[in-house]
Amino acid sequence: MTKEQSFVAYLEGLREREDRAALAALRRGLGRPPGTVAEMYPYVVPWLSDDTPWKERAYYLIASLFAYHPAPGGVGNMGHHFAQARDPQGENTAIERRFTVLLAAHPDDLDVYLRQAVGFLRSKEVPVNWHQLLQDVLAWGHPDRYVQRQWASAFWGRSTQNQRTKEG
């Protein structure tokens, strides 16, 4: 198991043990620059070791977002999650616009857009695959933008097109 997988498993353990104090401390990081909320330190710092600032930022971000929406059962990536949030009978232009803005997010602003995205998924009761999201956040700034392309494929890909054809 990688360090990232172990970290997410640790967060899942907090949820399973119903450690409300720990989850509350981690939620305090929402909307704050990653790594600036002292209450988060006991839960995140033990997982950091000579990591890059980007990796540390990703750990703080995922910890606060997880505490905000700890529902189990997320499968796939954020593209899958947003596709799941679509209204099969309704207008999905707003969801597509929200998702496109997320895909275009600069790495420095990703925490803001992910907080909004997770809040949206929470409101739709769509669980998040936190293992995948941490990996994707860590690779967000890759010059090939492969994470963004994978999310787009999951959202607008062939299975989605087939579903639209069946509905129409």
Ranges of each domain in the chain:
3-167
CA distance 132 to 8: 10
Task: Please identify, in words, the CATH class of the domain defined by 3-167.
Answer: mainly alpha
pLDDT in tens, 85-131: 998 888 889 999 999 999 999 999 999 999 999 999 999 999 999 99
pLDDT in tens, 123-166: 999 999 999 999 999 999 999 999 999 999 999 996 544 444 34
